[in-house]
Amino acid sequence: MPAEIQTPLILVNFKTYSEATGKKAVELAKKAEKVSLETKVSIGVAPQFTDIAAVASSTEIPVFAQHIDPIEPGSHTGHVLADAVKEAGAIGTLINHSERQLKLSDIDMAVRVAREKKLVSVVCANNQTVSAAAAALKPDIIAVEPPELIGTGIPVSKAKPEVVLNTVKLVKEVNPKVTVLCGAGISHGEDVTAALRLGTQGVLVASSIVKAKDQYRILREFAEATKI
Given 145, 148, 173, 188, which residue is catalytic?
145
Given 33, 67, 97, 221, which residue is catalytic?
97
Minimum distance from CB of 101 to a copy of itself (Å)?
4
Residue 42, Cα to own-chain centre: how many angstroms?
Answer: 12
Per CB under 8 A, 127 contacts a copy of itself:
yes
Binding track over 26-55 against a copy of itself, x by CB under 8 A: --------------------x-xxxxxxx-
Binding track over 69-108 against a copy of itself, x by CB under 8 A: --x-xxxxxxxxx-xxx-xx-----x-xxxxxxxxxxxxx
Residue 219, phi then psi, degrees to nearest 5 = -60, -45
Distance CA 226, CA 93 (A): 22
- The amino acid that residue 64 corresponds to is F
Q: Which is nearer to a copy of itself, 66 or 157 (CB)?
A: 66
Give the footprint of a copy of itself on this chain (CB under 8 A).
13, 15-18, 21-23, 46, 48-54, 66-67, 71, 73-81, 83-85, 87-88, 94, 96-108, 125-127, 129-130, 132-138, 150-151, 170, 174, 206-207
